[in-house]
Amino acid sequence: MTSLLTRPDTARTDPARPRPLVLIATLGGVLAAAGPLVVLLAAGVIGWFATDAGVHGAPRDGMRMGALAWLAGHGSGLTVLGVRVTIVPLGITAIAAWSMWRFGHRVGDSLSGHGPDADRISDGERDLTVPTAVALFFAGYAVVAVVVATLAAGATADPSVPRVLGWTVLLTATVAAPAIATGSGRAAIWAAQVPVALRAATAVAVALLVRLVVLGGLLVLLALALSFDDAATMTARLHPSPGESALYALVNAAFLPNASLFAGSWLLGPGFAVGGATVVSPAAVVLGPLPVFPLLAALPAVGTPPGWMGASMAVVPLVSAVVAHRTLRTRLLTWDRTVLAGCGGGLAAGLALAVLAALSGGAAGPGRMRFVGPFVPDVLVHAVTACGVGALLGSALLALLRWRAAAAHGSTDDADADAASTTAAPAED
């Protein structure tokens, strides 16, 4: 990766001018949007042919479904038979975010030669290379999104362009901007000016958030494996062909990240709803009629769960403590900064988890199914408390061990000094 911190000597003698920033950043945004879009368009055509061997409709119908799926991953929502569906398939969103990161990093790497170098930036010279590139990247991505939404709109589907642009802004700010800053080398320069404790807290927050989401996903997969017969029965009720079964499995997989965040809300205690007047939590499970969706087979049985399930609420604080301890043990911090970084990172991770939980829910159908998702206010309180307290305990334990080690080292130094002075006294006589 070309970086501002280390530039080859050949760059000083190379007469070739760097490629225009406008072209690189805008094209990067267009390609970041087009990559997943093309894949989903192809999947839509394959799915159209797999359903009835192309007897009904035309290939453009399959492409339109692929485009609508891409838009749904950007929060557009859909209108199906007059019913508004707003739940976002976060699996598609994750693919879009991955594409944004890859192309954003390449854009940043291509722009590392633009603007002032590291010495001039350190001297305080203004550098607008990254903000300009981020704005142009967003413009290219947004143009593709608006064009796709316009072409895919129709009487049976009404994607919301403002929601798509809002999600594009969110993804650009949280994924593309850090990728461009990292690829260009600016992130390393800016990070050097950030307090060490804040960098450590950020590392704790990121590590903890990733592990909690993965833990929720593993819990969903375990529950789905234990209920595999029920999931197979649900699928069989639709009488799908092998091709349709594969396509239906992909649709379920697109909502696996949503289910992971639902499971995380369950671990925290408040749980989530699968329709109006329902609750799924370690304390109680109240459900109503459910759609034929195999992923729902992972839901627990209706009634009062066993008492030992209440102990699952201790998992998040325990994981937070372990993650904070393991993340901070390799960082040279004083005991007070260690505790501050652990607690701050845990609080930030809890807040981020609540935000993701809020994005994971929405309307999934008519009537009762308009209310699907975690109970966000309760999840926020539980997540901030569990992650903050757990990370505080883990970092406090590490700080205590370091303090005891420092005290023991200080006592050893004092004893060595006393021994040295005692040995030197007869020589003076």
- pLDDT of 31 > 70? The answer is yes
Distance between CA atoms of 364 and 373, rounded to whole angstroms? Answer: 10
Model pTM above 0.85 = yes
Q: Which of 7-16, 23-32, 75-84, 398-407 has the highest mean pLDDT?
A: 23-32
Give the burial string for 132-164 (b: 16+ CB within 10 Å, else e): bbbebbbebbbebbeebbeebbeeebbbbbebb
Structure tokens at 73: 């991953």
Cα dist from 263 to 56, 350, 424, whole Å: 39, 15, 68
- pLDDT of 264 > 90? The answer is yes
What pLDDT was estimated at residue 203? 94
Decide if 139 contacts 176 (C-beta within 8 A): no
H or E element at residue 240: none
| Rg of the chain taking only CA atoms, in angstroms | 27
Decide if 266 contacts 282 (C-beta within 8 A): yes
Q: What is the pLDDT of residues 192-217, one digit of tens each?
A: 888 899 999 999 999 999 999 999 99
Quick one: what percent of the chain has pLDDT higher than 70?
A: 86
Beta-strand pair 285-286/279-280: antiparallel
What pLDDT was estimated at residue 118? 52
3-state DSSP of 173-202 = HHHHHHHHHHHHCHHHHHHHCCCHHHHHHH
- pLDDT of 16 > 60? The answer is no
Cα dist from 5 to 121, 123, 124, whole Å: 11, 14, 16
Q: What's the average model confidence in pLDDT over 53-69?
A: 80
Task: Report the SS3 class of residue 101.
Answer: helix
Structure tokens at 297: 């087979």
Q: What is the pLDDT of residues 399-411, one digit of tens each?
A: 888 888 777 776 5
- pLDDT of 327 > 50? The answer is yes
Task: Report the SS3 class of residue 263.
Answer: helix
Distance between CA atoms of 124 and 122, rounded to whole angstroms? Answer: 5
**Which of the four pLDDT bands, split at 50, 70 and 90, describes residue 4?**
very low
**Which of the four pLDDT bands, split at 50, 70 and 90, describes residue 269?**
very high
Q: What is the pLDDT of residues 226-259, one digit of tens each?
A: 998 888 888 888 888 787 788 888 889 999 999 9
Distance between CA atoms of 180 and 31, rounded to whole angstroms? Answer: 14
CB-based contacts of 192, cutoff 8 Å, min separation 6:
none
Amino acid, res. 348: A
- The beta strands (E) that lie in 10-113 are given as 78-80, 83-85
What pLDDT was estimated at residue 82? 77
- pLDDT of 373 > 50? The answer is yes
Decide if 270 contacts 384 (C-beta within 8 A): no
**Which of the four pLDDT bands, split at 50, 70 and 90, describes residue 421?**
very low
What pLDDT was estimated at residue 422? 44
Distance between CA atoms of 20 and 125, rounded to whole angstroms? Answer: 21
Task: Report the SS3 class of residue 373.
Answer: strand
Cα dist from 293 to 216, 229, 251, 254, 319, whole Å: 19, 13, 10, 12, 31
Residue 365 backbone phi and psi in degrees, to 5? 165, -170
CB-based contacts of 419, cutoff 8 Å, min separation 6:
none
